[in-house]
Chains A and B, each alone.
Chain A
């Protein structure tokens, strides 16, 4: 059931791709954004950079997916936003995790763990 909702072919492509930088999946991106914001409020650029750096540049966040995703999450009530000065004193829109967002992160994390384990088991069997 859960498996069906994951676009496996993308996953496969990114893992099998020549570039080590993978494209982001929608469901995954939402989760990663939520996870990043656990560390504290951040604006779009920081979020992208953070995901890229933490994944050691394996994952690359396209602006084209990031901002619609942020927008979506905000409308679902998982994020709240406000304008404020960035680290180099520019105006930037900061996103913050809402309590609902935290709950969602917990749910998604456990879902992801199940998923990763399941895929791992499948792949492990296949290799053997």
Chain B
């Protein structure tokens, strides 16, 4: 009610004015009717009615809220003061906008990705489970199907459990004429949706009879896929999708909000139906992960301990082979995002630093302003202005700056997030990144907090209660020392934070550089790559697969501009699988121990195509294929690790795990249990740009047991020119076969270092910005000092001081806070570097080059910032200076 009156008081005032006028008119008419001349009538009426403005003021005040009025007046006054110095105001507002914008944007990302709970009922009961080792050395190992069975039977801590695996991609071949597509899918046991607590939008989810070996194929589709592929028609239920050339009946549609585990996933198929029965029994074939819902009241730790005991029992029953003896767990959200935590929190901390620097800078500028207005404030206080009133006035100035900055910053954050969402689709839950109410409230809170910090530091630091002293003070006296000290302290803090940011940015940048220049162990120049996946339904016999591979290579190699072409299951830098093995010629290992190496399947020309050197022995022969595939080539890392003092050629590697294997979630046919003869040794390559040179065993892809492969083509000129001709060749061989991830090796490396580039460059941008702010701050303080000491410097020069001396004196004065800040910053940088350790690659946290470079840059920039006012001071004309009073 009072607020409505308050907001409508202008309109009411206007109405009252016309009402009073009407009253006056009536009075005049009456007077005229009494026979007065018009002038006299008007005058008498006015006299009788008295002061109209007084009436209006009284009503106006009755409609006002005193405190709101006070704030309004303060803000108006502050706005007017700021408008008088547009340069200062614009700078301050922009600085705050950048700080608040960056903080809001980063907080939005952190909030959406890391903090917001997953949209499932009682989400705190959901955990992910993986195998681990009892000594705590290994956690997050994939779960074997047999273990899942035993956990399910033996445990009492869970209401339900589901077994899942990221299937990778299905080839979706449409009805006649529709384009073939690669579709991301998850494979999970029927219990997955009940465990998550999801209800179907349409149709039903899997039941036990769908999810058993030998059942007909069924598929649950996401809402987005349903809209896109079936235009949201209910008749989608019951229709057939051809996935990897096998028929699947669509039985259900997920609700629109369901984007688990990521936005890419579009299909779900039943796991037991998809996987071979042996895999569901095996205790050593680690392929899956487990999602489970805790019973109410059961803690995660207790449940994990129960499962660990079960797993230790399994280990006792099967002392051989790669079988785990413990279980590790995480909250479900952590499962998806734990790898993004350090980077996002580092960036958020850096943004906080930037914001603090921005605040300090604005505070610093305000201190300078209030110093200039010292006398004015003292006079006002002498005239009865209370200290609180004056503080409120100063604080409102910084609040206005921060509010405008915050508004602008929110806009910046919005734009930044648009750009971020487009470039970071790989981050889980990227689709949920947007500014919502909590984020908005945080932004408003941050803005107010900044306003208070920036406003209260100068207000509280001032000593204006010594009114008389200030008023008596002549311009030449050393008044304002407290302010200078305050500004120096602020500045040192600012410089310190800048140094921390610079060090962080320097370390990340160096890591990024190391990553980019990393030697994968093969050529990356002019190499075009693409992924193929031969559907099991169509390529049932190994011979069919091999036939396709051979024809493809033959056709591609004959294209003009192609230097070499090869097939592999996993390219260097693209990860891949590893497996357990033993060496036939070596003494048997203790029970339950096994060796481990990465495994790849390649064609005979693979090493020549990627220029991986053949160190010893030979590569595969063309006739070492299909049944004659018992040969293996190893890399130097494997020789160093497992054949340190002997000749590996002619030795035999035995697959230790005789279960069926899964590669990228896909079944491959059993490997030979007899040994594979080592025929050659090749140079090392890396699985990932930031990974080590791992021990690797290469098997012949022409064995025909691998249905997915990457084609690598080394070309004469620009590799992209060959993309189309190669795709045409593939289409001629199999028109239903889609091609995925078509890119050059260099692009691939660029992609895998993108995240680290993003972190490094963002932090660098912050660091440069704060360096600029610190420089402005240094300049400001010294310029102010110089003006304040004009008289003193004038006297010194008049008495014969050399200009160089004056300049040196001023420089030292200005550099002192910078040096203090630098020392604090270096100390802080060492601490910060420890915190971002996990994000560094090939760079020590205490990297002398980075620390030296930061010190040098900071000194140079502060010297430059200080030299201008120092030089100006040394050029003072003494007469002029002394006259300035």
Contact = CB atoms under 8 A, between A and B. Distances in A.
A90 B20 CA distance: 13
B59 A71 contact: yes
B22 A86 contact: yes
15 contacts: A43-B19, A43-B26, A44-B22, A44-B23, A45-B26, A48-B23, A62-B50, A63-B52, A64-B51, A64-B58, A68-B55, A71-B59, A88-B26, A91-B22, A92-B26
Interface string B43-63: 000001111101100110010
Nearest to B22: A92
A90 B26 contact: yes
Interface in A18-69: 43-45, 48, 62-64, 67-68
Contacts of B62: 68, 71-72
A45 B16 contact: no
B25 interface: yes
Given A45-B26, A86-B22, A91-B22, A67 B50 contact: no
Contact of B59 (A67, A86, A91): A67
Contact of B5 (A48, A68, A75): A75
Chain A, interface size category, equals 10 to 19
B22 A67 contact: no
A64 B20 contact: no
A43 B5 contact: no
Nearest to A91: B22
Interface residues of B, number: 23
Contacts of B25: 90
A90 to B, nearest CB: 6
B27 interface: yes
Given A63-B50, A64-B51, A93 B22 contact: yes
B596 interface: no
B801 to A, nearest CB: 71
A65 to B, nearest CB: 9
B58 A90 contact: no
A37 B460 CA distance: 58
Contacts of A88: 26, 29
Nearest to A48: B23
Among B19, B52, B54, chain A packs the most CB atoms within 10 A around the CB of B19
A14 B58 CA distance: 24
B426 interface: no
B627 interface: no
A86 B26 contact: yes
Interface of A: 43-45, 48, 62-64, 67-68, 71-72, 75, 86, 88, 90-93
A67 B16 contact: yes
Among B26, B49, B52, chain A packs the most CB atoms within 10 A around the CB of B26
Interface string B5-44: 1000000100110111011011101000000000000000
Given A62-B50, A63-B52, A68 B58 contact: yes
Nearest to B1: A75
A44 B12 CA distance: 16
Interface of B: 5, 12, 15-16, 18-20, 22-23, 25-27, 29, 48-52, 54-55, 58-59, 62
B27 A45 contact: yes
A48 to B, nearest CB: 8
A72 B61 CA distance: 12
A68 B22 contact: no
B15 A93 contact: yes
B20 A67 contact: yes
Given A43-B19, A67-B20, 7 more contacts: A43-B23, A44-B23, A48-B23, A64-B55, A67-B16, A71-B16, A90-B25
A120 to B, nearest CB: 33
B64 to A, nearest CB: 13
A62 B26 CA distance: 15
Nearest to B56: A67
Contact of B22 (A48, A62, A90): A90
A64 B48 CA distance: 10
Given A62-B50, A72-B62, A75-B5, A67 B26 contact: no
Contact of A43 (B22, B29, B55, B59): B22
A26 to B, nearest CB: 12
A45 B27 CA distance: 8
B59 A45 contact: no
Contacts of A44: 19, 22-23
Nearest to B49: A63
Contacts of A86: 22, 26
A47 to B, nearest CB: 10
Nearest to B29: A88
Given A71-B62, A75-B5, A93-B15, A63 B20 contact: yes
A68 B50 CA distance: 14
A71 B56 CA distance: 11
A45 B23 contact: yes
A63 B55 contact: yes
Nearest to A88: B29
A43 B24 CA distance: 12
Contacts of B19: 43-44, 67, 92-93
A43 B25 CA distance: 13
A68 B59 contact: yes
Contacts of A45: 22-23, 26-27
A67 B55 contact: yes
A91 to B, nearest CB: 6
B28 to A, nearest CB: 11
Nearest to A47: B23
Among B23, B27, B51, chain A packs the most CB atoms within 10 A around the CB of B23
A49 to B, nearest CB: 8
Contacts of A68: 55, 58-59, 62
